[in-house]
Chains A and B, each alone.
Chain A
Amino acid sequence: METHKAKRVEITIELVMQSRLTEALQAADVTGYTIIPVLGGSGRSGDWSRSGQVSRGQGMVQVICIIRPECLDKLLEAAFSVVERHIGVVSITDCDVLRAERF
């Protein structure tokens, strides 16, 4: 089956910043993304778990975008403007998709 090259961008960010990030992505014409809750983790700011939080400010989510390679720079600029000062991780991987017209 024919596949097409794409970029998968995973942005792990604080829940409180989620709407700001997705608004920035949409403004950069990235209209397709998936948001999943993060159960827990550990990093420079210490470890935490979703079940141990009392405030929405402490939760984390992961925003996953799969885009055409030529759209990557625009997406990263938009994302960076939001996540620059905040806890989180941005990673980019190559992937293949079946239906290129959907991305």
Chain B
Amino acid sequence: MTDIFALAAQNLLSPIVLSFVLGLGSALARSDLSIPEAAAKALSIYLLFAIGFKGGVSVADHGVDLSLGLSLLAGIVLSALLPLVAFQLLRVLSKMDRLNAAAVAGHYGSISIVTFVAATSVLEGQGLPSEGYMVAVAAAMEAPAILSALWLVSRGNGGAGRMDSKLWREVMLNGSIVLLVGAFMIGWITGPKGLAEIESFIVSPFKGVLCLFLLDMGLLAGRGMQSGRKALGFGSVAFGILMPLAGSMFGLGAGVLLGLSTGGTMLMMVLSASASYIAVPAAMRVALPEANPSIYLTLSLGVTFPFNLVLGIPLYLVIAQAVTG
């Protein structure tokens, strides 16, 4: 227990979390602080490229084995399964209708790449290695949850959701996934030699860029909380905190079954605990336009993301360390 508090305190006082808190506080205090849209986009491109590249280099360095394929499969299964858990939990905790509950559930099967990036940063700070291919697992977990959400809706009213080929292509080829997987492949192909060539660009500035990006995420989360707070009841907010805890346990089980390292298990927990606020909301606007975006965006961005960033990540790390030894 002491470990959890020590790690939580260390995490809370890190520049990354404090930058997020600054953004969150500024937004809640209605400051006009903002990160220009183009700058925020550039920061996210940098982070996705860096994390993808470093993951690819790690795979090139350590080689490929069966665990990569099995981890990808586990990620896909988790992404498809977690919305079903989220849907049931949400229906128990709140009186949300089936359509909105299914839309929310889809977000909790998919992942938050920013939470993943923050978790890798914490692992690096602790000197804990992780499987480089977890980046690929993150990319694989983006889409299956959307299908599960649409299936949940179709069970209720015979097919309100539409997942046409165009939407399918947009989800699978959205910019974040293409950049993440593309950078992963470049890192894999060029290996440690390639990393040495661009190390001063993608390693040293990484945490500073992450701080600025999380400042922006704090601003977005705070504004999301303000605009969406009326859409959420107590049960929904409780879901936004309990679901990541439940999801992380599924990730823990998968990590242990796959024999992942402590760092890899922690990342699998983080992926299972996080909720999407980029790919899935866009897909839901097309496939389920009747669902209320204030509900699912406020939950994933305004409740679950801050919870994971501030308390979840250290908690998952301590649990992963305790279980995997």
A-to-B contact residues, CB < 8 Å: 14, 16-17, 19-20, 45-48, 50-58, 85-87
In the complex, are the beta carbons of B289 and A55 less than 8 A apart? Answer: no
Contact across chains for A58 and B281 when beta carbons are under 8 A apart: yes
Q: Nearest chain-A residue to B162 (Cβ)?
A: A85
Q: Are B166 and A58 in contact (CB under 8 A)?
A: no
Determine whether the beta carbon of A47 is less than 8 Å from that of B227: yes
**Identity of the chain A residue whose Cβ is nearest the Cβ of B294 in the assembled complex:** A46
Q: Please tell me if the beta carbons of B290 and A58 are within 8 angstroms of each other in the complex.
A: no
The interface residues of chain A lying within 8 Å CB-to-CB of B277 are 54-55
30 cross-chain CB contacts under 8 A: A16-B285, A17-B286, A19-B166, A20-B166, A45-B292, A46-B294, A48-B227, A50-B37, A51-B36, A52-B219, A52-B224, A53-B220, A54-B220, A54-B277, A54-B301, A55-B277, A55-B281, A55-B282, A55-B297, A56-B282, A57-B281, A57-B282, A57-B283, A57-B284, A57-B293, A58-B281, A58-B297, A85-B289, A86-B289, A87-B289
CB distance A14 to B227 under 8 Å?
no
Q: List the B residue with the shortest CB-CB distance to A85.
A: B289
Q: Which residues of chain A come closer than 8 Å to B281, judged between CB atoms?
A: 55, 57-58
Chain B residues lying within 8 Å of A86, measured Cβ to Cβ, are 285, 289
Task: Report yes or no: A58 in contact with B293, Cβ–Cβ below 8 A.
Answer: yes
Q: Given A52-B223, A54-B217, A54-B277, is A14 in contact with B285 using a C-beta cutoff of 8 Å?
A: yes
In the complex, whether B34 has a CB less than 8 A from a CB of chain A is yes
Report Cα–Cα, A53/B228, bound state, in Å: 13
- Assembly CA distance A46 to B293 (angstroms): 10
Residues in A whose Cβ lies below 8 Å from that of B147:
none
Residues of B with C-beta under 8 A to A58 = 281, 285, 293, 297
A residues less than 8 Å from B34 (CB atoms): 51
B286:A54 contact, CB within 8 angstroms:
no
**Which residue from chain B places its CB closest to the CB of A88 in the assembled complex?**
B289
CB within 8 Å of A: which of B197-236?
A: 217, 219-220, 223-224, 227-228
Q: Interface 1/0s, chain B 106-143, versus A by CB < 8 A?
A: 00000000000000000000000000000000000000
Q: Give CA–CA (A58, B91) in the complex, Å.
A: 26
The SS class assigned to the B binding surface is helix
B278 contacts chain A at the CB level, 8 A cutoff? yes
Contact B285 A57 (CB under 8 A): yes
Closest to B174 in A: A56
Chain A contacts of B283 at CB under 8 A? 57
Question: What total of chain B residues lie within 8 Å of the partner, measured CB to CB?
Answer: 26
Would you call A46 and B227 a contact (CB within 8 A)? yes
Bound-state CA distance A14–B34 (Å) is 23
CB distance from B30 to the nearest CB of A (A): 12
Chain B, residues 54-71, CB within 8 Å of chain A (1/0): the string is 000000000000000000
Q: Which residues of A contact B220 (CB under 8 A)?
A: 52-54
B290 partner, pick from A19, A55, A85, beta carbons under 8 A: A85
Partner of A55, one of B219, B278, B292: B278
Q: In the complex, which residues of chain A have a beta carbon less than 8 angstroms from the beta carbon of B224?
A: 52
Q: Which residues of B contact A87 (CB under 8 A)?
A: 289
Complex-state Cα separation, A47 to B236, whole angstroms: 21
Determine the chain A residues whose CB is within 8 A of the CB of B292 once the complex forms: 45
How far does the Cβ of A82 sit from chain B's closest Cβ, in whole Å? 10
How many Å lie between the Cα of A17 and that of B166 in the bound state? 11
| Cβ of B109 to closest chain A Cβ, rounded Å | 16
- Cα A53 to Cα B216 in complex, Å, equals 10
Which residues of chain B from 274 to 319 have any CB-CB distance to chain A below 8 Å in the complex? 277-278, 281-286, 289-290, 292-294, 297, 301
For the complex formed, measure the closest distance between the CB of A53 and the CB atoms of chain B, giving whole angstroms. Answer: 8
Give the CA-CA distance A55 to B281 in the complex, in Å: 7
A52 to B26, CA, bound (A): 13
Among B217, B228, B282, which residue has the most Cβ atoms of chain A within 10 A? B282
